[in-house]
Chain A
Amino acid sequence: MGMIVAALGSGLVFGLGLVISGMTQPSKVLGFLDVFGHWDPTLAIVMAGALVVVAPGFAILGRRDTSILGVPLEWPGRRTIDRSLIGGAVLFGIGWGLVGLCPGPALANLAGLSPKVFGFVVAMAIGARAQDALRRVRGSQPQSA
């Protein structure tokens, strides 16, 4: 129960940040990405604001083994920059640049009941499931790392 309430609250605070900063508005995001046009620095300020909280917060939490609710803190451990990382970032960047939505704002925008936002999220789910299925097929081959 605690995990559910904590996740709900964290998602709500995160989502409030997305809405208040304007990041749920694709035109704001595309305005930031449009470096050759009338550049909108909003996204840079949003990221800086988030990092001001998360960087010291994670540094302090890094000394703990478990969360307040007693579950182990799960930090990503992979270090290698490989083709999957970069190839995935390129594909994500193309989709992000086409629409101006990344996963967080897309999900928060479901509240507006826009058919196109639903369409985007369903397509996002299909794309994610397709990649997971592909990874399982490749993972069954012995040479995969």
Chain B
Amino acid sequence: MTSFDPVSAALGGLLIGAGALLLMLFSGRIAGISGIFADALEPRQTGRTWRMAFIVGLIAAPLLVAATGRAVPAPDMPAWAVVIAGGLLVGFGTRLGSGCTSGHGVCGIARLSPRSLAATVTFMATAAVVVAVSRHVLGGQ
């Protein structure tokens, strides 16, 4: 069980919001990370370079935090089969549903988009059911 740190949560949330706002302010783009990632992989897509730069920024963030001496814990990952199934579902589902936690959950809800609100309620409720089943019905974790 992880400890709850509301100050870090709020500060982190403000920074996530600032990152999304900066991208629109300077680049005119929604910070929807599933879309940025998929379009960065698409050879026919224009604007792949800025998308890759955004991803490099994301990857640099834990390194910068670690360089300040703050501990960055290694992510606790499930078994390989679950990792691969989860990755395939996240990739496929976010493309089909046009967004993920950043694009729908933050940017879309901030704009009061009914689509993003519906998507966010759906993926959160679905994920909660999956966790309830895996932890409390199957007792997997």
Contacts and interface: CB of A to CB of B under 8 A. Distances in A.
A142 interface: no
A120 to B, nearest CB: 4
B87 A122 contact: yes
Contact size range, A: 35 or more
A75 to B, nearest CB: 7
Given A15-B62, A35-B128, A50 B91 contact: no
Nearest to B132: A36
A52 B17 contact: yes
Contacts, number: 484
B58 to A, nearest CB: 4
A25 to B, nearest CB: 6
A104 B89 contact: no
Contact size range, B: 35 or more
Interface of A: 2-28, 30-31, 33-38, 40-42, 45-55, 57-58, 61, 66-69, 71-76, 78-81, 84-99, 101-112, 114, 116-117, 119-132, 135
26 contacts: A5-B53, A6-B22, A6-B26, A16-B15, A16-B64, A19-B65, A22-B12, A33-B131, A45-B10, A46-B9, A53-B21, A67-B26, A91-B92, A92-B126, A93-B93, A99-B86, A103-B34, A107-B55, A109-B75, A112-B74, A120-B77, A120-B87, A123-B83, A123-B88, A124-B87, A127-B92
Given A76-B108, A91-B93, A102-B33, 17 more contacts: A7-B53, A11-B60, A12-B60, A20-B15, A46-B12, A51-B13, A53-B14, A54-B17, A88-B98, A89-B120, A95-B88, A97-B131, A103-B101, A107-B59, A125-B91, A127-B87, A130-B88
